[in-house]
Amino acid sequence: MARTAPAPIATWSNWSGNQQVRPVRVAKPTSTDEMSALLQDAAATGHRVKPVGSGHSFTAVAVADDIQIDTSGLSRIVSVDRAARLVTTQAGARLHTLNDVLSGHGLALPNLGDVDVQTVAGAISTGTHGTGATVGCLSTFVERLTLVTAAGEVLHCAADRHPDVFAAARVGLGALGVITEVTLRCVDAFVLRAHETPVLLADVLAGVDDLIAGNDHFEFFWYPYTGRGQAKTSNRVPLDDAPLPRFRAWLDDEFLSNTVYGGLCRLGRAVPALVPSVHEVAARGLTERTYTARSDRVFCTTRRVRFTEMEYAVPRAALPEALAALERILAALPFRVQFPVEVRFTAADDIWLSHGYGRDSAYLALHQFQGAPYEPYFRAFERVATALGGRPHWGKLHYRDAESLRAAYPRFDDFRAVRDRLDPGRVMQNAYTRQVLGA
């Protein structure tokens, strides 16, 4: 009888296209028990495993050496406790699915990043954040989580259950085990009024403390080679405030942000000398707009223009110095940078490998259009950010190693001790965790 050849394993690629791998095997468990059996089997047969979410990290954090765990088989929202404002979800659920379910129950997540396509576990595992003076990263919303360790043990963790694992696994880099379920603290559903306006960088920096403190959510974009930018404030308003008309929303979000912007980026890539003028036009041409919508729709947009990114969290007071250095770096680069620099703010938290551990942060995100050179830009800024006590986003490109990161995180060795205990055989290891945590 003819034997059927096993289906070939497809090459996996992240969203940005800069990380690719063909894993030895792809497994798609659909329950905590199946996950436990899978991990026990991997440990017994000497394989390494790596769960992957929606592949939205730029670093190799989700690249599997051997067995890739597709977490889409664990994407159910398990329960919503309206009175306690808690939602329990399987770890592979996408944030947009969660947002819709929560909205139906009159609830919402307190804050979100720029996009909502990440999985819950993927987002928290790298410290995904939005902006807001009093709000920490998404991992700070976690009340409980279920972690399957490399030995297949199932740990139910919370502040009072396995507290050290809880402090580590909320930003765990997929290095401690596989999360199968997460309970998140929500708030009552809310509506935000966003105001976007062209600004002068000098004005923003002069008033930045008031802008951060005076708005629920404040961020700004700076256009390299110009003294201009765009500020966005989002503040809570009554639930029945008027939403942006549909056509205007499409014009701003889809057409201007993606279609026109993508065209300008391609133009800048083809003719680098035009980049400063393109930034000047973009910065001046940005129309002021005010719109109101459900919170997640104001926080998140669709990103179709692909790019590579580095993001550093620095102590908030170091922002002016970091931006001044960035201006000098940009002027000296042998190529032009086509994307604006995004600046956001978060509150201090107590999660060991959170970028915001123990301090209020300013985040500076450096982007470059897909296919354009970026490494000298990112490396030059990394030198500045490191000297300022900066911490690189775990999901965005950086070049730091364990020894250098150890100096930036007071509880780094505690994290490594939990990893040694939960995964002494390094079943969860990959090249990235070797780089940032050590072998």
Closest separation in Å from C-beta 273 to ligand FAD: 28
Binding residue for ligand FAD, selected from 111, 126, 140, 308, defined by CB under 6 A: 126
Quote the CA–CA distance of 129 and 299 in Å, as a whole number: 11
Q: Which is nearer to ligand FAD, 336 or 355 (CB)?
A: 355
Q: Does 427 bind ligand FAD (CB under 6 A)?
A: no
Query: 430: Cβ–Cβ under 8 A, 6 or more apart, which residues?
Result: 48, 50, 60, 61, 63, 64, 65
Is 340 an interacting residue with respect to ligand FAD (CB under 6 A)?
Answer: no
Span interacting with ligand FAD, options 118-126, 237-245, 285-293, 316-324, rule CB under 6 A: 118-126
Q: Which of 23, 55, 132, 356 binds ligand FAD (CB under 6 A)?
A: 55
Task: Confirm or reject binding of residue 61 to ligand FAD (CB under 6 A).
Answer: yes
Helices 375-387 and 319-332, packing angle to 10 deg? 150
For residue 437, count CB atoms less than 10 angstroms from its CB and return exposed for 0-12, middle for 13-18, buried for 19 or more. buried
- Give me 138's structure tokens: 């998404």
Closest CA to 71 of 168, 153, 160, 180: 180
Q: Note whether 436 binds ligand FAD by CB under 6 A.
A: no
Q: Positive or negative, the Cα torsion across 202, 205, 206, 208?
A: positive
Residue 64's SS3 state is: coil
Backbone phi, psi, residue 345, to 5° = -140, 140
**Window 377-416: contact mask with ligand FAD (x via CB under 6 A):** ----------------x-x---------------------
Q: Does 152 engage in binding with ligand FAD (CB under 6 A)? A: no
Q: Site for ligand FAD (CB under 6 A): how many residues?
A: 32
By CB under 6 A, name the one of 179, 366, 385, 397 that touches ligand FAD. 179
Q: How far is the CB of 257 from ligand FAD (least distance, A)?
A: 12
User: Is residue 48 within 8 Å of 65, Cβ to Cβ?
Assistant: yes
SS3 of the chain: helix, strand, coil, percent, to 5: 35, 25, 40
Residue with tokens 């970091």: 322
Footprint on residues 355-374 left by ligand FAD (CB under 6 A): none
Nearer to ligand FAD, 226 or 363 (CB): 363
Element (H, E) at 101: helix 95-104
Question: Among residues 115 and 366, whose Cβ is nearest to ligand FAD?
Answer: 115
Measured from the CB atom, is 277 or 370 closer to ligand FAD?
A: 370
Stretch that binds ligand FAD, among 22-30, 44-52, 224-232, 257-265 (CB under 6 A): 44-52
Q: Which lies closer to ligand FAD via its Cβ, residue 75 or residue 277?
A: 75
**Distance set, CA 176 to CA 27, 35, 48, 139 (Å):** 18, 14, 12, 15
Closest CA to 286 of 229, 204, 336: 229
Q: Does 54 bind ligand FAD (CB under 6 A)?
A: yes
DSSP letter, residue 241: P
Among 80, 115, 208, 364, binds ligand FAD (CB under 6 A): 115
Residue 174 binding ligand FAD, by CB under 6 A: yes
Hey, how many other C-beta atoms are within 10 angstroms of the C-beta on 315? 16
114 near ligand FAD, rule: CB under 6 A: yes
* Minimum CB–partner distance for residue 289 and ligand FAD (Å): 20
For tokens 């005076």, the residue is 214
What character string, x for contact with ligand FAD (CB under 6 A) and - otherwise, covers 3-42?
A: ------------x---------------------------
Q: Note whether 86 and 186 are within 8 A (CB).
A: yes
CA torsion through residues 327, 331, 335, 339, sign: positive
Residues numbered 245 to 284 that lie near ligand FAD (CB under 6 A) are none
Task: Report, in Å, the least distance between residue 69 CB and ligand FAD.
Answer: 7
Interface with ligand FAD in residues 297-336 (CB under 6 A): 303
Residue 251 phi, psi (nearest 5):
-60, -45
Q: Does 102 bind ligand FAD (CB under 6 A)?
A: no
Strands (E) in 306-421, as ranges, are 307-315, 341-346, 361-369, 391-392
Question: Applying CB under 6 A, which part among 115-123, 184-192, 325-333, 371-379 lies near ligand FAD?
Answer: 115-123
Q: Which of 32, 118, 139, 226 binds ligand FAD (CB under 6 A)?
A: 118
Count CB atoms within 10 A of the CB of residue 398: 26
Residue 245 C-beta: closest distance to ligand FAD, Å: 26
Residue 148 or residue 201: which is nearer to ligand FAD going by CB? 148
What is the contact surface with ligand FAD in residues (CB under 6 A)? 15, 50-57, 61-62, 71, 91, 113-115, 118-119, 121-123, 125-126, 128-129, 173-174, 178-179, 303, 393, 395
